[in-house]
Chains A and B, each alone.
Chain A
Amino acid sequence: MAGLATTFGSGAMTNTINELEEAQVILVSGSNTTVTHPQVARRIFDAVDRGAKLIVIDPRKTKIARHAHIHLQIRPGTDIPLLNAIMRCILDENLIDDLFIEMRTENYLAMCDLLLRVDLNQAAEITGVAADDIAQAARMYARAQRSTICYCLGVTQHTCGTANVKSYANLAMLTGHVEQEFTGVDPLRGQYNVQGACDMGALPGGFPGYQAVADPENRKKFEEAWGCTLPENPGLTVIEMTHGGPDEKRLQAMFIMGENPMLSDPVLDRVRTSLQGLDFLVVSDIFLTETAELADVVLPAACFAEKTGTVTNSERRVQLSHKAVDPPGEARADGWIIQEISTRMGYPMQYESPREIMEEICLLTPIYGGIYHDRLHASWGLQWPCLDRNHPGTPFLHKYNFTRGFGRFEPEQHVPPVEPADNEFPFVLITGRRYHQYHTGTMTRRSVTLTRERDTSLLDMHPEDAKELGLADGCRIRVRSRRGSVPFTLHLSTQMDRGELFSDFHFHESPTNILTLADSDPEAKCPEYKCCAVAVEVDHD
């Protein structure tokens, strides 16, 4: 998000999901699309059926990669040298969009300067991709009129995640593949309302609508509307909270609403120590999660079907979801819970309904300015920016002008992974999701059908590597990193190259995040989930 915000001025999908169907070239990177975003994959396949070309950048031969016209199977964490090489080819063959660069962007000279120093053979060596394939992908992407980039957490969950994203934005600007229908840069958001939680200011540095808390004008606006004084300094990010400080504890108390850091955050032992070290922990959730088990107070919350409210999908579409049934027992919606606590702490909140809350959001958040509930009843939502009551919403961004004015080229250099494989830990572990499960499994593991399809945590390994270690498909193994060890069932798969492993993180019996690194991107603070060094041995327990 930080990467697109610096280059384009807005960190969301530039286009709608349906626009993918009309693209001529689709470049998918770091996204196991058929598993994590099935509807997006469906649009991509429809486009390919109609003649579109598909380029996939991924260390794994995922299902979508098997359907690609060109699969650039890079070594984990080598996106930047690959993209710089692609851009160098585009420059060499004069496939750049001069007019777009001249009229709409800035800092092109610095970009050019970096690209002219790129050594294509060296790039091929670092990425493990043949120079010819790189050149072919460059031509394919640059020559088409309507090329679209889709990326997911395989790009962002690295210590150089923001730099990776900037490189994709650079590529789109170099060829003018942004600002129009059917062409742009689309970060696929992985969760139900993760876009909305960002939009609503559940961020340490921003009020709703990405209005920076550090800006005194913004603080004044919200102080006047809310009748209070507001803190000036940006707050802590999730990992800074759940990992505590380097020596002493950072926090005395936490309030956690519907999150499960005890499975989702890296270096779980450290998360446990820091949560247990709190004087007071409140967790509001629908099930007793691994995190709730550590709490001093647990509040029973309502699930999506038990309350009315809006949620925002990956393509910025704000949609209304209606209450279908009552919550079980005494469970209550989180909105009610927050209002009750706030009122008890001396700042009364008494909203009659979510509709009334949305009216306040509309007044204070320019990009949501016209998204009133009554407009959402008759339709399947409005896409922000939607500035006023009569505004039709915005299917694609940056038409005529980037949100920040000029698009800004941000030249980036290769940042090697923090923890490369070595003699002691010879494998590189990549983590991600499986088709039938979702995130920490709190919901999907309580679904009979989904559990029937998959209820164990697998570690994917190349058959040749398994043969060398004397391991057979289905055997119990233990994976060890510098931070701890976790048991898995072995699954032989040719999806990865030799030396690379893949595992999911849905199962508390195999808490993968004991193994992962806490090192995170300096700007976006995304941890390096997609790359850590591990060793594999037979599990004798």
Chain B
Amino acid sequence: MPDIPSICCYCGCGCGLYLHVEHGRVTGVSPSRSHPVSRNNLCVKGWHVHEYIHHSDRLTRPLIRQHDRLRPASWDDALDLIAEKLTAVKEQYGSDRIGVLSSAKCSNEENYLLQKFTRISLGTNNIDHCARL
């Protein structure tokens, strides 16, 4: 499998790098030579950016709290429950009683979708992220 062009997921420098993929796993990283910021160089975090991707702690199934414990559930059950609860809060208390935190770890497209969803489906401007922190 060829190396996949990607962007380091840590700080705001935005270094260009290649992910080495073997048998469906990212096994290593190399910096891009032509990238204007990384210029064939990475910091210690960038060189090891692949190490957490396949960690055994990764969440692999939706979880729903039942009797005060988080238990595995199906996507359909989790998504239906979210839609039902958010709709109920919106109808009972009003849209502005729902808050949304978006993420500096997600892509532009995902941030765009989340603010669109918040403003249209939830009907509130209560959306922010960690830029201030």
Residues of A in contact with B (beta carbons under 8 Å apart): 1, 16-18, 36-40, 42, 188-205, 207-208, 213, 222, 226, 228, 230-231, 233-239, 241, 250-259, 261, 264-265, 279-280, 282, 285-288, 292-293, 295-301, 303-307, 309-315, 317-326, 328-335, 337-342, 344-347, 349, 351, 354, 357-358, 360-361, 380-381, 435-436, 438, 443-444, 446-450, 453, 520, 524-527, 529
Contacts and interface: CB of A to CB of B under 8 A. Distances in A.
B14 A341 contact: no
14 contacts: A39-B15, A192-B104, A199-B108, A207-B119, A208-B115, A231-B119, A235-B125, A252-B98, A255-B101, A296-B65, A309-B109, A330-B75, A347-B121, A357-B109
B45 A202 contact: no
Contacts of B95: 231
Nearest 10 CB-CB pairings of A with B: A313-B14, A329-B60, A309-B107, A235-B125, A258-B103, A189-B12, A202-B102, A300-B59, A344-B83, A314-B12
Given A37-B12, A324-B26, A444-B52, A213 B125 contact: yes
A208 B63 contact: no
A519 to B, nearest CB: 13
A331 B13 contact: no
A259 B101 contact: yes
Given A38-B43, A39-B37, A297 B59 contact: no
A257 B75 CA distance: 16
Interface of B is mostly: mixed
Contact of B24 (A203, A326, A381, A448): A326
A331 B58 contact: yes
Given A188-B12, A202-B115, A226-B120, A450 B60 contact: no
Nearest to B83: A344
Contacts of B85: 253, 279-280, 296
A450 B51 contact: yes
Given A233-B125, A253-B85, A259-B101, A40 B58 contact: no
A231 B12 contact: no
Contacts of A339: 113
A311 to B, nearest CB: 5
B18 to A, nearest CB: 9
Contacts of B80: 344
